[in-house]
């Protein structure tokens, strides 16, 4: 038997393997795929800052030219032309190139991360999906992924751009006078310390915003998904109040982050910097170390620091929010599962023999209840054998574990103890795709996609022909009502098939199962929403379909229970009795009581 712990049951292969060791490494491993774009951002940022720093230097030269007697108009004209030319180059090429590169990078990352996340979510086991509310998953898959885009543009775009502006006074001031490096150096040191402290405070505040947004989205999704129940119980006011509390929590977290952002001390430092910079340059001027043009040029260079000081408050918030979102997304992707696709596993043609041997199982979210033996869905010490082609009816009270047995057949869940063998091979040793493709399950709560009827029937076999689809529909007694629609098999049904009746949805699900021609067919109360006349026709179709395949029936309909080759009676997760209808009626009081209640 093969067991393996992976992050997914099924892995979507890509040409690029991202680094999953941390949110920062994960995001930037995606980003480094587009290194030419990143180089474009850095070239544009450096060139933009350098040409911005050229303006105060040329302005200082222009003041010196005017101060001459007579004024040097040629030097003044040269400075003016250089300013105009440099700023045209800066604005039309460097800034535009940097912003375009950052936008390109952000959009490509959003696309790639959405692809990776979707592939990961589709590949996760049911135990994973049982643990995460759909609303929270949707918040992460939409809003959190979008935050990573914003993290790069405008976030890191502004960080890289402003970082170059920070260093320009330090690089250019020695050309005026070496002593003028002092104020920029002190400012950079204090700025680095203050920003580091600011980011440490910003991280938990940003994570709280993302977390409460997910909770708010979960509340909304639950209300919309259960809108019929809400309206049926006249609980609109209660749900509005409940959602209002979620919005208030999100708002509170957002305001808490805003308080942190308001304490961005570099804005105060900027004023101190300008005061000391002006004082230092005037003292040098008074000592004869520099001229009036140099004073103007140096203080103009210090004014470059206004952009990183202002932009940093916004940009660092975007980066912190993006990293918080990346941490939430990576949590989903890195969540481990004991189920794996077992690519090298057994892939034979299934005959339909099933053996349960000392099987025990408990849902992961009810482990505490299982430990004390109180869980209503615990399976304990289940052993039985089904031969190929047999029909097995599973009966018992609600919560006895009937549906759970069928979920162990195709490894929606794995047993905790014992083994489930298909054709003598442990289910865990089967190739997972080969196993599931040969087992069809029709549940009472039918899920249909918002696609055409033909696409829904052919979901398990996308390559099926129209003739095959129609043949399956006819076998499931669905063809007639399908043709009543104006567009027939091309009719688009609503989400979850809500535009169809319960009986119509179940007949489409049965048609979908017939089309895949499974070796094992599971009908989990699949005819519960079908009227008596239709049930008779479907019953005959099921009997024909079950003739050459193993069939598991979970039903309360006596007509189906009677003709089963084997009947398993469950009581609190254990087998209370097993045998044919006649045998159980004679020997099992539990079965007789169930049968009497059905009658």
pLDDT at position 364 is: 64
The span from the CA of 583 to the CA of 425, in Å, is: 30
Q: In which order are the strands placed within the sheet that holds 391-396?
A: 439-442, 520-524, 550-554, 391-396, 566-571, 574-579
Question: Using CA of residue 127, residue 128, residue 132, residue 138, what is the dihedral sign?
Answer: negative
Contact 521, 550 (CB under 8 A): yes
Superfamily of domain 23-334 in the CATH hierarchy: ABC transporter type 1, transmembrane domain (1.20.1560.10)
Contact 165, 95 (CB under 8 A): no
* pLDDT tens for each residue of 301-347: 999 988 888 888 788 889 999 999 999 999 998 887 767 778 888 99
The span from the CA of 341 to the CA of 4, in Å, is: 9
pLDDT at position 34 is: 94
Give 452's pLDDT tier (boundaries 50, 70, 90). very high
Per-residue DSSP letter, 489: G
pLDDT higher than threshold 70 for residue 376 = no
pLDDT higher than threshold 50 for residue 368 = no
pLDDT higher than threshold 50 for residue 596 = yes
Question: Using CA of residue 218, residue 220, residue 221, residue 227, what is the dihedral sign?
Answer: positive
pLDDT at position 597 is: 62
SS3 sequence of 166-204: HHHHHHHHHHCCHHHHHHHHHHHHHHHHHHHHHHHHHHH
pLDDT at position 532 is: 65
* pLDDT tens for each residue of 266-312: 878 888 888 999 999 999 999 989 999 999 999 999 999 888 888 88
pLDDT at position 253 is: 94
pLDDT higher than threshold 50 for residue 113 = yes
Q: Which of the residue ranges 180-184, 218-222, 398-402, 563-567 would you say has the lowest mean pLDDT?
A: 398-402
Q: Which helix (H) or strand (E) holds 382?
A: strand 379-386
Q: Do domains 23-334 and 350-438+519-533+557-599 have the same CATH topology?
A: no
pTM of the model: 0.79
Q: Which of the residue ranges 86-90, 99-103, 398-402, 531-535 would you say has the lowest mean pLDDT?
A: 531-535
**Considering the chain, what percentage of its residues have pLDDT values greater than 90?**
43
* pLDDT tens for each residue of 527-580: 665 666 666 666 666 676 666 789 998 877 777 787 788 999 988 888 989 998
Per-residue DSSP letter, 16: -
pLDDT at position 374 is: 47
Domain covering 350-438+519-533+557-599 in this structure, CATH number? 3.40.50.300
pLDDT at position 12 is: 60
349-368 average pLDDT score: 82
Rg (CA), the chain: 35
pLDDT higher than threshold 50 for residue 369 = no
467-478 average pLDDT score: 88
Strands 417-422, 550-554: pairing kind: unpaired
Residue extents of the structural domains in the chain? 23-334, 350-438+519-533+557-599
Contact 591, 400 (CB under 8 A): no
Query: Residue 504 contacts by C-beta under 8 Å, 6 or more apart in sequence?
Result: 478, 481, 497
The span from the CA of 184 to the CA of 173, in Å, is: 9
Token couple for 222? 């639950």
448-467 average pLDDT score: 90
49: left (phi over 0), alpha (psi -120 to 50) or beta: alpha
What are the phi and psi torsion angles at 176 (to 5°)?
Answer: -90, -55
Q: Mean pLDDT: which of 75-79, 268-272, 444-448 is highest?
A: 75-79
Helices 96-123 and 23-31: crossing angle, nearest 10°?
Answer: 120
């Amino acid at each position: 038997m093969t067991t393996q712990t992976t992050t997914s049951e099924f892995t979507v292969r890509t040409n690029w393997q991202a680094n999953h060791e941390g949110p920062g490494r994960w995001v930037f491993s995606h980003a480094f795929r587009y290194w030419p774009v990143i180089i474009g951002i850095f070239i544009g940022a450096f060139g933009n800052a350098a040409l911005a720093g050229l303006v105060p230097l040329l302005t200082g030269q222009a003041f010196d030219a005017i101060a001459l007697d007579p004024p040097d108009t040629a030097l003044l004209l040269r400075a003016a032309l250089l300013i105009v030319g440099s700023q045209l180059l800066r604005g039309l090429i460097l800034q535009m190139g940097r912003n375009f590169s950052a936008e390109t990078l952000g959009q490509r990352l959003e696309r790639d991360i959405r692809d990776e996340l979707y592939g990961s979510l589709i590949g996760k086991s049911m135990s994973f999906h049982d643990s995460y509310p759909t609303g929270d998953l949707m918040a992460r898959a939409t809003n959190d992924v979008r935050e990573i885009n914003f993290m790069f543009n405008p976030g890191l775009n502004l960080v890289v751009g402003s970082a170059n502006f920070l260093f320009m006074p330090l690089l250019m001031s020695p050309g005026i006078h070496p002593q003028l490096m002092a104020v920029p150096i002190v400012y950079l040191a204090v700025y680095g310390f203050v920003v580091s402290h600011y980011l440490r405070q910003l991280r938990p505040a940003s994570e709280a915003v993302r977390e409460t947004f997910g909770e708010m989205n979960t509340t909304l999704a639950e209300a919309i998904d259960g809108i019929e129940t809400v309206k049926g119980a006249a609980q609109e006011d209660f749900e509005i109040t409940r959602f209002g509390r979620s919005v208030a929590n999100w708002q509170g977290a957002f305001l808490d982050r805003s308080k942190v952002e308001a304490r961005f001390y570099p804005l105060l430092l900027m004023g101190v910097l300008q005061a000391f910079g002006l004082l230092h340059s005037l003292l040098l001027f008074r000592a004869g170390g520099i001229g009036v043009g140099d004073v103007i040029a140096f203080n103009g260079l210090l004014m470059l620091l206004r952009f990183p000081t202002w932009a940093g408050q916004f940009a660092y918030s975007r980066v912190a929010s993006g990293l918080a979102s990346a941490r939430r997304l990576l949590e989903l992707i890195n969540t481990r599962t004991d189920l794996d696709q077992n690519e090298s596993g057994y892939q034979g043609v299934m005959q339909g023999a099933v053996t349960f041997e000392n099987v025990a199982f408990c849902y992961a979210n009810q482990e505490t209840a299982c430990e004390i033996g109180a869980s209503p869905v615990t399976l304990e010490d289940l052993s039985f054998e089904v031969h190929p082609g047999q029909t097995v009816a599973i009966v018992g009270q609600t919560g006895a574990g009937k549906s759970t047995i069928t979920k162990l057949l195709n490894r929606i869940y794995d047993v905790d103890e014992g083994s489930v063998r298909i054709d003598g091979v442990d289910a865990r040793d089967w190739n997972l795709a080969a196993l599931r493709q040969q087992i069809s399950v029709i549940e009472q709560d039918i899920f249909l996609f918002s696609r055409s009827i033909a696409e829904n029937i052919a979901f398990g076999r996308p390559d099926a022909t129209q003739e095959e689809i129609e043949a399956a529909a006819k076998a499931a007694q669905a063809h007639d009502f399908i043709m009543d629609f104006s567009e027939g098999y091309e009719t688009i049904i609503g989400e979850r098939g809500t535009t169809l009746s319960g009986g119509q949805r179940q007949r489409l699900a049965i048609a979908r199962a017939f089309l895949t021609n499974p070796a094992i067919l599971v009908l989990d109360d699949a005819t519960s929403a079908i009227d008596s006349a239709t049930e008779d026709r479907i019953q005959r179709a099921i009997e024909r379909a079950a003739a050459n395949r193993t069939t598991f029936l979970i039903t309360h309909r006596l007509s189906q229970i009677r003709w089963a080759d084997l009947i398993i009676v469950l009581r609190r997760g254990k087998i209370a009795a097993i045998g044919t209808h006649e045998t159980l009626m004679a020997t099992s009081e539990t079965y007789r009581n169930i049968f009497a209640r059905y009658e």
